[in-house]
Structure formats: structure tokens, C-alpha cells
Amino acid sequence: MALLVSSWSNGVQSVPQDYIMPPEKRPGDFVTVCKDIPVINLQNDRSEIVQQILKACQEFGLFQVINHGVSEEMMADIRVLYDEFFNMPIEDKLSVYSENFGKGCTLYTSGLNYAKEDVHFWKDTLKHGCHPLEEHSPSWPDKPARYREEVGRYVVEVRKMGFKILDMIGEGLGLTEGYFAGVSQEQSMAINHYPPCPDPSLAMGIGGHTDPNLITFLQQDQYGLQIQKDGKWMGIDPIPNAFVVNLGYLLKIISNEKLKSVEHRGVTNSIASRTSIVTFFGPNPGLPIIIEPAKKIVTSSSPQIFKSIQYNDFIANYLALLRKPGPRNGTPLDPYRL
């Protein structure tokens, strides 16, 4: 428990040695905010939205959505809930704490394997499955007392939004209706908590990565998220009550690289803690799912770029690569390119 950044960082005057990133992995002096990220209003005309989403996925692999159906009240309540959760005394968090990222509901710190990391990330994360609700909610924290009820309601609303957007992406790509229903059985959440850091230029909240799932929805109200665009890191401006939507690797494969999957990271700040509430949709790792470019997209003028992949193999490779100490060689997709 002593490992959680939030348990020891309050008031520290300098960044401990094992949180100082090597120079090439530090946030850099000056990162501009990307002003071109599309903001899509889900209350507009559907055919218009489908085109906007498609364009955003082709150009950025990321966009923000507003008027998405998850109420402002629900978003505000969940924010308060997670502030309360991370501010609880250590004893109240013990039931979900683990020294490593693991299966089920876990509160862990930094990356996937703390003990093997050369340098740690300045973050604590609570992570758990969400769907089906009855299966997962008994493993969720029982404090604050309203956790299961409130998060249970949030999960359902985010799911509706998630499938609506996946359907529209499918429509934009010309796929059969409901195409993604077969690939997106799993819904899970990671709530990342980044306490204030005495020197944000030395540390990193979460290092550069691309999500290994289909699609991710991120609720935030403070700056910290950055994307890699044309070889440069750029900031994402938080918009009140919006979700940041970013595509995972699997959509890049399924779309035969017609859509992008953006590399992103999270930086810290010295003034206030930041919490991001993140929902992931993707295949159920327990099922033998094959991921491959959709047949309808592969044509003689757009030949298949990726091999068919067993999702479990893909995820095992991805995790092995993330866990590997030292500089990364290649991306998890490299072995699957034809």
C-alpha cells in the first residue's frame, strides 16, 4: 500500500530518483494544445455525424463528443465519487489493493509490473470489469458505500453511448449493422489518479501507448492528456462534460488501416491532482475471437494489410512488449503485418 503515489507524495519537495524519467521520455518543455481535434455533437443529424466521426477517425483516431446521452449530473456525481475514493484512508482501500496490475478489481500503482520497472509512473489506478454487471460489481470497492450502485448506472449509460458510436463507425466504414457487437463484449474501466507532482517536467503520469482494444472513452476535467500527431506531442483541451474518444489498435486492424489508432500519454501538474475515468470496449479475452480486416473493406484496390489474429495472442504480445524493460522495438502490430 505504501507504494501508491497518493499515499506518500503529499508535500514532497522533489521527485524521487525512481520516478525521474530518462530525458527522452520526459514531457518536454513546451507542448501546444491541438486546436483541430473534432468536437462532435451527438444530437446532430445522424448522417452528418457518421461522416464527422469517420473523418475524425481517419485523420486523428481521436475526437471529443458532446450531448452524448450521459447526463451532466451523472458525470459530476461520478467525479465526486472518485475524488472521495482516492481520498479515503488507506485501510478503506486495502480490500482492492494489489502490488501489481492483475485480473479482477485492482487498485495498483504505476504500470503493469511495479517491481520490474526501472522508472515508475506518477499514477495510481483502480481497474475493473463492468459487463455483465452482475458478474463484476461484487468485486468492486464497497466504499464509498454508494460505489456499486452509482458506477453500475454509469456503466450502463456509457455502454449505450459506446455502442451508438461503434455503430456509426461501422456505418461509415460500410460494415453490416451490428458488426461490432461480436467483437466488443467486454467493457472495463480504469480510473487513473495523478496526484500533484513537485516537478512535472521530470515525471510522467502514463507513458506513450496505444490502447489494445477497440475503442476508449475518457472522462476528464483537467488537462494532462496528450497525443502524438505528425511526430509531435500535442495537448488535448478538456471540454466540460465531453468524453474523449480514441480508437484502439483493433479498429486499426479491422478497418485495414483506414482508421488511425492514436498514441497518447498523460502528463502531471504541480498544482492539483487529476483523475481520468476511462472506459474500454473490446473483445472478451476468455473467448476465442479472431481479429482481422473486415471482409467488406478488403478489395483488390485495398488488399489485406494484417494477418488474422487470435485476440489472446495479440494481447499477450502487447503486454509482453509493455512489460519489457528498456527501449521498445516496434509496435505490437509489427508481427501481424502481411
Enumerate binding residues for ligand OGA (CB under 6 A). Answer: 190, 192, 206, 211, 224-225, 264, 266, 276, 278
Residue-wise DSSP of 196-221: --S-TTT--SEEEE--SSSEEEEE-S
Measured in residues, the chain has a length of 338
Q: Are 100 and 107 in contact (CB under 8 A)?
A: no
**Of residues 49 and 169, the one with the C-beta less far from Ni ion:** 169
Give the residue nearest to ligand OGA (CB).
276
225 binds, among Ni ion, ligand OGA, none (CB under 5 to 8 A by kind): ligand OGA
3-class SS at 325? coil
The verdict on 263 binding Ni ion (CB under 5 A) reads no
- Stretch 175-214 residues interacting with Ni ion (CB under 5 A): 211
Q: Are 228 and 263 in contact (CB under 8 A)?
A: yes
Measured from the Cβ of residue 93, the count of other Cβ atoms closer than 10 Å reads 20
Instruction: Name the residue nearer to ligand OGA (CB basis): 278 or 294.
Output: 278
Is the Cβ of residue 227 or residue 253 nearer to ligand OGA in the bound state?
Answer: 227
Other Cβ atoms less than 10 A from the Cβ of 306: the count is 20
Question: In whole angstroms, how close is the CB of 223 to ligand OGA at the nearest point?
Answer: 10
Q: Coil, strand, or helix at residue 315?
A: helix
Q: Binding partner of residue 127 among ligand OGA, Ni ion, none, CB under 5 to 8 Å per kind?
A: none
Q: Which does 266 bind (CB under 5 to 8 A by kind): Ni ion, ligand OGA, none?
A: ligand OGA
Compare residues 261 and 276 and give the one whose CB is closer to ligand OGA.
276
Kindly state the smallest distance separating residue 37's Cβ from ligand OGA, in Å. Answer: 14
Q: What amino acid is encoded at 116 in this protein?
A: K
Closest residue (Cβ) to Ni ion? 211
Residues interacting with Ni ion, by CB under 5 A?
211
